[in-house]
Amino acid sequence: MEGLGSRQCMIAMVTFILILLGAVVYCLGWGSSEEISKWCAAPPTFQRSSNASIAVLISGLDNRFTYNNVGPSPTLFKDTDVFIVLERTSSSVDSGCWSAPCPVAPPYAIDEKSVVSAFEQRGARSVVLRFVSYDTYNADRNPYPRNKRMLDLRRRVFELSNPVNYTHFLYLREDNCFFDADFSAVNLGSLCGRIDEACYAVDSHCDGWGIPDKLFYLNRKAAEIMFTQIPTRNVDHDNTEGRIKNTMQSHGVCATRVDFRRGDVRFVEGASDICLSRYYAECNSGDHMLVTCRAPVAADDDGGDSTPLVAGAAAGGILVLLVAGYVFNRQRRTTTSNATENAGRLLLPRILRLQA
């Protein structure tokens, strides 16, 4: 029983090291979704397709909707019809974000007149905006899971466009920003030129959770699969990326990966301009002028990102405790053994005298 503590410490140390190795392997990309995702061949060069009628679909939360910062291109939505469905949130701060700093509402109005004007200035032929009330998803004691609401909003915006038989769709999350000044949705027509079989394109970055869901360019056949195969309310799932990947692959539809030269932007507390989400840093194209979001810092703080330091300190502290525990148990065993030996030396002469 004396060696039980040291054996437990050794087991704990080995387990901890294996966990660290597993995390390193995952971060290096071993076992990435490349092994389980089905990809099409490389896409052709962007060029306008004369037979494509394109609808732009946008959905998300109103306090993340950075429509005035969607990109510098004046022809971004030229010759397209734009459909938008947003959930009205109960707060100006998205407190349910995955990583701090959380987005705060943009410093401009999110109403029909302002939104329509902004998209028309970028070439849109028409703009339709609808809001879904907060109570729609949170009215009872069993509210929709966050990712389920995201999928449902996409279904709603697709249905909003259905009266017109568009051949193609550009779906965007509410916080997309296109970096290039000459990007235009109508130049995507050649990506899925055929309309007799399902085809869709996703961003070439950010595929660690399944199929990247920041942006989709689809023909109608693919859109009817993606936006109508929504699970019922009582069916849960891990994330939207995994749900979309499984849905599309179950229908034999592969994805084309394209660098759309985009990123996920937001306003955060204490910042005067948009910044790129730190949580989705690997999802953004390079060669841009935007900065990564940082949480507000104290006056005596240098403003650096302390997350790696905190994580490293925590891991180091755990390792030190495990080593200290192991050394303590070794020392206790040695002390116990020495005490037993010394006691034997003291008792032996007495035993010999008694025997004599």
What DSSP designation does 317 have?
H
Which distant-in-sequence residues (6+ apart) come within 8 Å of 41 by Cβ? 256
Region for 7 from its dihedrals, namely left if φ exceeds 0, alpha if ψ lies in -120 to 50, beta otherwise: alpha
Place of tokens 């901890």: 16
What pLDDT score was predicted for residue 325?
A: 60
Lay out the sheet containing 200-203: strands in order across: 126-132, 81-87, 54-61, 168-173, 215-219, 200-203, 255-258
Residues of the chain with pLDDT under 70: 1-51, 95-96, 139-144, 207-209, 229-238, 296-356
Amino acid (1-letter code) at residue 189: G
Q: Which domains does the chain have, with CATH numbers?
A: 47-283 (3.90.550)
Preceding omega of 145 cis (within 30 degrees of 0):
no
283, 203, 285: which is closest to 244 by C-alpha?
A: 203
